Structure 1
Amino acid sequence: MHRISAGELHRFNVEPIDTVDYHFDLDYVGDGIRDHRLDVLVPHEAPSSLPVYIYFHGGGWTSGDKAPLTKYAASQAADGMIVVNANYRMATRFHLKHMLDDGNAVLDWVARHIEEFGGDPSRIVLGGDSAGGHIAALLTASAFEPELAAHYDIRPRVAPENLRGLVQHCSIADVSVMFERGFVLSLNFLRMLLPERGRGVVLRTAARFMSPIEWLDSGFPPVFVTTSERDYFYRANLNFIAALRRRGLEVDTLIYDRQQVNTRHTWQQDAAHPESQEVYRRLGAFVRRVANVPAIVAASAATSVTAAA
């Protein structure tokens, strides 16, 4: 069951953005459960064929909900994109394969329906924070690596060339850090993500299929990584950035040092911080660049952001 406090909703969603149309709780599977609902946020008077930013919330794979991310998602929509803010099934009742199945179903829904909202299904950027970023990265990798897709028995719903970028906010794209002594999460988190809690499985072997850093195909799309020295997964992010660069893959970064007090794990959700606003500015520019948004549309988006500020 999702635990969403009134305080959490208020903290992240104060002063709602009124330059965006909100379409809440669309059922992307058809089974009526909240875990299979998504929101679509559309900028007012949007030109047709905008890029699509699909976002998965964090919560340690065990908790969280799309609702507190509404202000974050609206901030991106106001910057000239269609935003899909999605829920998914979580542990401990479900494991990683279910989460990837759900993410793949979101992609399928987007491919079939996003044009109804003015989105272009050939210009998709995936993103997420923490565990949601991990899911987004594995989905991206599975589109380029058949072995990874086969391991989870998923058939990617979007052609690789239509995945234009990946956004990682305090994500854990390198799960090898969880084997380090004293890491903030125990290895029980990895076991929790496996069927039967990994019974009879060599955990380090299984971890290869859980770690996006192990699946960086040469066709992997550009990546935007935001992290800080105050982030639990700071080292995992640095490892991911280094691996992308070693392979000659494009990566843009925004990394804050420990002196920036507003940059604890998943600070990007709280729009009140100037550090978060810098993330949003950089993210909008990243999406427009990788999605090849025409200059005239980018200028229109800039006007929309100014009006919303």
Structure 2
Amino acid sequence: MTSRKPDLLFADLTERARQYNARASVPDFDACVREYAELATVARRQCAAVCDLYYGMGAAERLDIFLPAAERQPAPVFIFIHGGYWRSQAKEDAPIMAPVFNAAGVAVVPVEYTLLPEGTLAEAVREVRSAVAWVYHHADRYGLDRDRIYVGGSSAGGHLTGMAAATGWQDQYRVPQNVVKGAVALSGLFDVRPLCDINVNEWLRLYPDQAERLSPLFALPPRGLPMVVSVGGLETDGFKNQTAAYEAACREAGVQVQRVEAAHCNHFNLLCELAKAESPLTRATLEMIANGAPR
């Protein structure tokens, strides 16, 4: 007897649009954004950082590097990709985990990318992969360990994390096939096809066949890659089912998936768990990175 696949389409387009409306799933979206900003302010005040390094020629192709103490360098790298449905938010509000991660000896690298609809989803994927490659090729200059690069992201950033963890792109960027040593995918959109028929496509501007090529569900990580996944217990079934579908596909492909439960979290404050040293999500992420240390 086969288990039922998670429903990503829902009964009709009205219900589908509701299921994928992250903002409407919380009582106060502005409060969630303020929490990001406040935590990011703390990070910038407490942590040493090199900001606005260009990894590409586009104005948005920039990243920041939040470094642990010099005696802990070269440091493993946690590249973080912000969410915002690919059309909003910025890297400046993303380094909320830097104080905790830097204290654990891990560098944090928030990445900016060209937002839609100025850019395209394909360009965002290319840019994030370019950022990973830039970190690999410039690691020595900034006290980073090129052999311990991890990628994470939330919501749209979870999608881009999946595309960075996928196989098949590395040769084009002159990096090893295993350049990404692990991934943290939070509340991601891993099958973009259901979004082509609802309001999200106003800025995605994709046909279903294009969406399939840009979906992590159809571009899985290599066998054996460690991955942490989580989705908030207060999120809609749309986001829960997206994570369930991706998790199942990854497990079937031999990816070493660890699911972290977060029953008390919504779509937005799930990310804030990474700012807490003792949260299960932080512990799982830092343990994954520590387990990848050379023996």
> Shorter-chain-normalised TM-score: which range?
0.7 to 0.9
Aligned match of 2:198: 187
Distance in 1 (alpha carbons) for counterparts of 2:150 and 2:107: 10
Match of 1:270 among 252, 255, 272: 272
Matched position secondary structure for 1:161:
coil
Aligned match of 1:255: 261
Matched, 1:172 2:189: yes
Larger mean CA deviation between 96-105 and 214-223 belongs to: 214-223
Distance in 1 (alpha carbons) for counterparts of 2:108 and 2:274: 20
Which residues of structure 2 form unaligned runs of 5+? Answer: 1-29
Corresponding pairs, count: 263
Distance in 1 (alpha carbons) for counterparts of 2:221 and 2:283: 28
Distance in 2 (alpha carbons) for counterparts of 1:243 and 1:109: 29
Larger mean CA deviation between 58-67 and 228-237 belongs to: 228-237
Deviations 1:88-143 (A, max 9, x none): 001111111211221122123212222222211122111111101211211221xx
Matched position secondary structure for 1:71:
helix
Matched, 1:53 2:44: no
Deviations 1:202-261 (A, max 9, x none): x3322321211112255362211021222241111111111112223210110223xx2x
Matched position secondary structure for 1:267:
coil
Are the counterparts in 1 of residues 65 and 108 from structure 2 also a CA contact under 8 Å? yes
Task: Report deviation, 1:159.
Answer: 1.3
Matched position secondary structure for 2:189:
coil
- Residues 133 and 73 of structure 1: is their aligned pair in 2 closer, same or farther, counting only changes over 3 Å? farther
Distance in 2 (alpha carbons) for counterparts of 1:274 and 1:81: 15
- Residues 15 and 62 of structure 1: is their aligned pair in 2 closer, same or farther, counting only changes over 3 Å? closer
Match of 1:24 among 32, 41, 51: 51
Map 1:154-173 to 2 at 5 A: 155-173=172-190
Distance in 1 (alpha carbons) for counterparts of 2:211 and 2:56: 29
Aligned match of 2:133: 108
Map 1:75-154 to 2 at 5 A: 75-141=100-166, 144-145=167-168
Distance in 1 (alpha carbons) for counterparts of 2:275 and 2:138: 34
Are the counterparts in 2 of residues 12 and 271 from structure 1 also a CA contact under 8 Å? no
Q: Which amino acid aligns with 1:292?
A: A
Are the counterparts in 1 of residues 54 and 62 from structure 2 also a CA contact under 8 Å? yes
Are the counterparts in 2 of residues 174 and 211 from structure 1 also a CA contact under 8 Å? yes
- Residues 255 and 190 of structure 1: is their aligned pair in 2 closer, same or farther, counting only changes over 3 Å? farther
Which residues of structure 1 form unaligned runs of 5+? Answer: 180-185, 295-309
Aligned match of 1:301: none
RMSD: 3.0
Task: Report deviation, 1:84.
Answer: 1.0
Q: Which amino acid aligns with 1:69?
A: A
Match of 1:13 among 33, 36, 40: 40
Matched position secondary structure for 2:270:
helix
Are the counterparts in 1 of residues 51 and 64 from structure 2 also a CA contact under 8 Å? yes
> What percent of counterpart residues are identical?
24
Distance in 2 (alpha carbons) for counterparts of 1:63 and 1:279: 24
Aligned match of 2:63: 38
Matched position secondary structure for 2:109:
strand
Are the counterparts in 2 of residues 69 and 269 from structure 1 also a CA contact under 8 Å? no
Q: Which amino acid aligns with 2:49?
A: Y
Distance in 2 (alpha carbons) for counterparts of 1:276 and 1:214: 34
Q: Which amino acid aligns with 2:112?
A: N
Compute the TM-score of the two structures, normalised by the length of structure 1.
Answer: 0.74
Task: Report deviation, 1:39.
Answer: 0.7
Compute the TM-score of the two structures, normalised by the length of structure 2.
Answer: 0.78
Aligned match of 1:62: 87
